[in-house]
Structure 1
Amino acid sequence: MLKTIFKRLLQLIPILFLVSTIIFVITRMIPGDPAATMLGPQAPVDAVEQLREELGLNKSIGEQYLIYLKDIIKGDFGRSYQYGQSVTSLLFERFPNTLLLSIVSLFLALIIGIPIGIISATKHYSIFDYVSMIIALIGVSMPIFWLGLMLVLIFSVNLQWLPSIGMGSLQNGLWDFISHLILPSVALATIPAATFARVTRSSMLDVVKEDYIKSLRSKGIKEKSVIWKHALKNALPPIVTVIGLQTSSLLSGAILTETIFSWPGLGRLIVDAIQNRDYMLIQGAVLLIAFIFVFINLIVDITYLYINPKINYDGKGGDK
């Protein structure tokens, strides 16, 4: 197992190198000049050229790329043009807020989606099954930006129950902190919850039809134990895969969610960086998200090895 994990870790190196290269190319394709954006449209040409020289933007693309790779290898993401401070410090300042929002959203999605999927599988073709799957289909199809705006319109504008922007503080009380977290976490959790429900139902339906499940029931074992202890365990592999993918997707979904609710996280930071042509900040933030994405996939692979030791990532076939 350790050999497999080590191989998976080595595979992260070329992936991250490729991602860093793609990020560099795409950021240079963004229309506009960072120096001109920082100084404003009325800035004289000489001032713009001087700032370009200070930022190193007057160098060729090849020179900028080599400097960029050299700094990344040293763990230096550069300095933000917009904020005038290191990209690393900005990422560490904002990332905990995004992590909090993602964890709460994932928790909501798990406690809602997986139980609904299990109940739908055990009550196949029932009213609950039909209604829950229709709702799940709507949830998967619903654009997150539209859902976020609708939540703001209903609960903030019309009912005035919850705040629509910003992040609460524990210094202002627990409710202030929780109330600011409810709408963005619900918006971000909707698609994962619907996905978990659909995948859990499908996986459980395949398992409950197996002969060993019928054998357990014939032995008089309680239905609750059969479903939650035996069937769910064998239905976990596809569920774990989807959890890993949805966890990674939460970070990309957080960009829209944080923008709608003015949540001071990594997603909002990326949007501001794009608007201000802050190359260094865009590169550092996207590279961090890419690293988290591949790291989560690694965790999913390791979890697979524990759930089913017969899984072999070397392509030589599992043990019989």
Structure 2
Amino acid sequence: MIKTIINRLLQVIPILLVVVTMTFILTRMVPGDPAATMLGPQASAEEIAKLRDQLGLNDSLIKQYFSYLGDLLRGNFGKSYSYNKPVIDLILNKLPNTLLISITSLVIAVLIAVPIGIISAVKQYSIFDYVAMVLALVGVSMPIFWLGLMLVLVFSVNLGWLPSLGMGSMDNGLWDVIVHMILPVSCLATIPAATFARITRSSMLEVINNDFIKSLRARGIKEWRVIFLHGLKNALPPIVTVFGLQLAHAFTGAILTETIFAWPGMGTLIVGAVENRDYVLIQGAVLFTALVFVFVNLFVDMAYMVINPRVTYEGTKGGA
């Protein structure tokens, strides 16, 4: 397993290099001047030129690129233009808020969708199965931004039941934070829940139709033990794989969700960086997001090896 993990990490290096390079190029293609944005419309050309020189924006793109790579190799993500603070500090300050709604939404999605998928598989072609799969299809098909706006319109604007903006404050009690979380978490959990329900149903159908399940039933073992202790255990690998992918997608999907609900996390940080033409902050946030994807996928690979040891080293042996 250690050899496999090392190989995965080595494969990550060129991927991150491509991410860094593409992000650097694309940020320079964004219209606008960071110096002019920072100083405002009243700034003179001389003031803008002086600030550009201080920020290193007058250097050639090649020099800026290799200077940025050198900083990254030293573990330095740079200093934000607009906040005048280290990028890594800004990211770590907002990260807990993003993880709060991302992980909460995934936990809720799993707790709701996996049992639904199991019941749909056991009661295949029943009314419950048809209704659940239609709702799952609708859930997968709905864009996050549209769903978020509809939730705000219905539950905040029309009914006035829930707040639509902000995170709330612990000064007002835990319930204030929870109430502010309901809409963004519901929005973010919809697609993962629909995906988990469909994958669980499909995986369980493959397992419960196997001969060993029929043998267990013939031996008189209780149905719930057959389904949950034997069926679900063997159906887990695809579910774990999808969980890892959904965890990464929930993290990036939170960026759009946070913008809709003004949730103070990574999403609002990145949107603000784009508006302020804050190249360094954009690059650091994108690179950090890429690292999240990489390590989540690595964690999924390791979990898959533990759950299904028979395929642990197939990828490594195949390339030997």
Band the TM-score falls in, shorter-chain normalisation = over 0.9
Corresponding position of 1:202? 202
Indicate the larger mover: 185-194 or 34-43: 34-43
Corresponding position of 2:219? 219
**CA distance in structure 2 between the partners assigned to 1:6 and 1:302 by the alignment:** 12
Corresponding position of 2:30? 30
Partner of 1:316, secondary structure, is helix
Corresponding position of 1:19? 19
Contact in 1 for aligned 2:95/2:266 (Cα 8 Å): yes
Q: CA deviation at 1:315?
A: 4.3
Partner of 2:221, secondary structure, is coil
**CA distance in structure 1 between the partners assigned to 2:241 and 2:100 by the alignment:** 22
Matched, 1:141 2:135: no
Q: Give TM-score, length-normalised by structure 1.
A: 0.97
Matched, 1:66 2:39: no
Corresponding position of 1:316? 317
**CA distance in structure 2 between the partners assigned to 1:131 and 1:151 by the alignment:** 22
**CA distance in structure 2 between the partners assigned to 1:310 and 1:241 by the alignment:** 16
Task: Describe the superposition over 1:64-96 as per-residue Cα deviations: whole angstroms up to 9, x where unpaired.
Answer: 001000000111111111111111110111011
Task: Describe the superposition over 1:265-311 as per-residue Cα deviations: whole angstroms up to 9, x where unpaired.
Answer: 00110011011110000011111110010100000000111011111
Corresponding position of 2:261? 261
Corresponding position of 2:153? 153
**CA distance in structure 1 between the partners assigned to 2:277 and 2:209 by the alignment:** 56
Q: How many residue pairs are counted as aligned between the two chains?
A: 318
**CA distance in structure 2 between the partners assigned to 1:303 and 1:287 by the alignment:** 24
**CA distance in structure 2 between the partners assigned to 1:307 and 1:267 by the alignment:** 34
**CA distance in structure 2 between the partners assigned to 1:305 and 1:241 by the alignment:** 11
Corresponding position of 2:89? 89
Contact in 2 for aligned 1:91/1:285 (Cα 8 Å): yes
The residue identity in structure 1 corresponding to 2:238 is: P
Q: CA deviation at 1:28?
A: 1.1
Corresponding position of 1:113? 113
What RMSD in Å do the two structures reach over aligned CA positions? 1.3
**CA distance in structure 2 between the partners assigned to 1:188 and 1:270 by the alignment:** 18
What does 1:158-307 correspond to in 2, within 5 Å?
A: 158-307=158-307
Q: CA deviation at 1:47?
A: 1.2
Corresponding position of 1:54? 54
| Structure 2 gaps, min length 5 | none
Contact in 2 for aligned 1:4/1:313 (Cα 8 Å): no
Partner of 2:80, secondary structure, is coil
Corresponding position of 2:128? 128
Q: CA deviation at 1:254?
A: 0.7
Partner of 2:310, secondary structure, is coil
Percent of matched pairs sharing the same residue: 65
Q: CA deviation at 1:14?
A: 2.2
Q: CA deviation at 1:9?
A: 2.2
Q: CA deviation at 1:43?
A: 2.3
Q: CA deviation at 1:160?
A: 1.1
The residue identity in structure 1 corresponding to 2:17 is: F
Contact in 1 for aligned 2:35/2:48 (Cα 8 Å): yes
**CA distance in structure 2 between the partners assigned to 1:214 and 1:203 by the alignment:** 16
